[in-house]
Amino acid sequence: MDKEVSDVLKQFSPIPASERHQRWLLKRHPIGDPSVDDFLFVEDVVPMPPPGAMLVRCIWLSLDPFQRLTWNATPRNAEIVPLYGTLLGDIVGEVVLSNHPGFARGDIINEVLGWQNYALSEGRGHYIHNRAGARKVDTALGPISTACGVLGRTGLTAYFSITRELVPKPGETMVVSTAAGAVGSLAVQIAKIMGARVVGLTSTEEKCDWITELGCDATINYKTVNNLGTAIARAAPQGVDMYYDNVGGPIADAVLGNMNAGGRVTRVGVSANYSQVNDDGTPWTWPGNQPMFIIHDYIRDYPDGLVQLSNWIKDGRLTYREDVIDGLENAVAGWLDMMTGGNRGKRIVRIGPNPDGIA
């Protein structure tokens, strides 16, 4: 019987018989800072899609700080990864076999499918991380890798959090934390497009130089200043009108101490807290009474946002940097390095090659 099933799969599957299904699993819930020992890299048989589903060859994987919250045993505002479950992650991939009425073989899609080289999908997305479900990537907007970054939820986060929530007025001052990161580097440029004066906070002199090229009017290496609050006051002598918060913690406290009356704050992330441990030994969770930016509030406007971001790129008003890690097997090491400031721009993992003829 096994041989018969194997022969059928070989006959109808576009996947070579030698191909393996590779995945990163959660071996244990980290307490404090994660390590590579908290995860398990496994290989298995490539699955076949049941009726109503499709098989996706994963090409690009997005590495994001918020993924840390999904590894806790008791997260809030995040979907937990069960023990020995596949890690969650934003994927750009190619449909290689479809039993789904809305998707055909050869479609390029973006969906939260996980840290794996092949994935089954019903196209419905995740109730927290991707309420929009699978979307077909418009290759005319840009290279397909950008659907994990500037032309995906990363870029849309920067776009909507600034244009719809902070709404800078010409001449106002905005401070951006992790300004050399994936979202922060885009936030700097979008704020400048809207006429704001921007102060960027980052962790190295090299990154300070880069965000100056992006348009920052002033930069601060928060690791080398004696008093961050004083440094911000010098960089923003008229006070801070808007704070773009990616980290929370002491950096946020320093910025908030310089806010003008009526100032605005958008909390996109609080990465300084993601690996904290409470006094009782339980992992930190997002307080239910603290508001945060939710990208899913703007699902209906995703297409318009992507077109605007693409137009800014084509016009030369918006630039992006992709920090590429090659090989799914290196994804965990790449994520751990990112969380200590090792990335420049958007960190993504190249799992496999783009389809022929597609950039």
Residue 281 lies in a domain: yes
Dihedral sign of CA atoms 217, 337, 78, 280 in order: negative
Which residue segment(s) compose the domain that 32 sits in? 2-149+321-350
Pairing outcome for strands 259-267 and 240-245: parallel
Residue 254 sits in the same domain as residue 210:
yes
CATH number for position 276: 3.40.50.720
Q: Is the pLDDT score of 22 beyond 50?
A: yes
Query: For residues 293 and 6, which has the higher predicted lDDT (pLDDT)?
Result: 293
Q: Please, what is the end-to-end C-alpha distance for the chain in angstroms?
A: 43
Residues 157 and 300 in one domain: yes
10 Å Cβ neighbour count for 325?
A: 21
State whether 293 and 157 are in the same domain: yes
Pair (244, 208) in one structural domain: yes
Q: What is the pTM of this model?
A: 0.92
5 CB-near residues (< 8 Å, 6+ apart): none
Q: Are residues 184 and 285 in the same domain?
A: yes
Arithmetic mean of pLDDT, 164-183: 97
Evaluate whether residue 356 is within a structural domain. no
Secondary structure (H, E, C), the chain: CHHHHHHHHHHHCCCCCCCCEEEEEECCCCCCCCCHHHEEEEEECCCCCCCCCEEEEEEEEECCHHHHHHHCCCCCCCCCCCCCCECCCEEEEEEEEECCCCCCCCCEEEEECCCECEEEECCCCECCCECCCCEECCCCCCCHHHHHCCCCHHHHHHHHHHHHHHCCCCCCEEEECCCCEHHHHHHHHHHHHCCCEEEEEECCHHHHHHHHHHCCCEEEECCCCCCHHHHHHHHCCCCEEEEEECCCHHHHHHHHCCEEEEEEEEECCCHHHCCCECCCCCECCCCCCCCCCCHHHHHHHHHHHHHHHHHHHHCCCCCCCEEEEECHHHHHHHHHHHCCCCCCEEEEEECCCCCCCCC
98-135 pLDDT, tens digit per residue, is 999 999 999 999 999 999 999 999 998 765 667 778 99
Whole-number pLDDT of residue 5: 47
Question: Number of folded domains in the chain?
Answer: 2
With a cut of 60, say whether residue 2 has pLDDT above it: no
What pLDDT does 77 receive? 58
Q: Same domain for 38 and 127? A: yes
Q: How confident is the model at residue 173 (pLDDT cuts 50, 70, 90)?
A: very high
Q: What is the pLDDT of residue 281?
A: 84
Identity of the amino acid at 167 = V
Q: Is there a domain that residue 80 lies in?
A: yes
Q: Is the pLDDT of residue 13 over 80?
A: no
Could you read off the pLDDT of 127-148 as tens digits, one per residue? 566 777 899 999 999 999 999 9
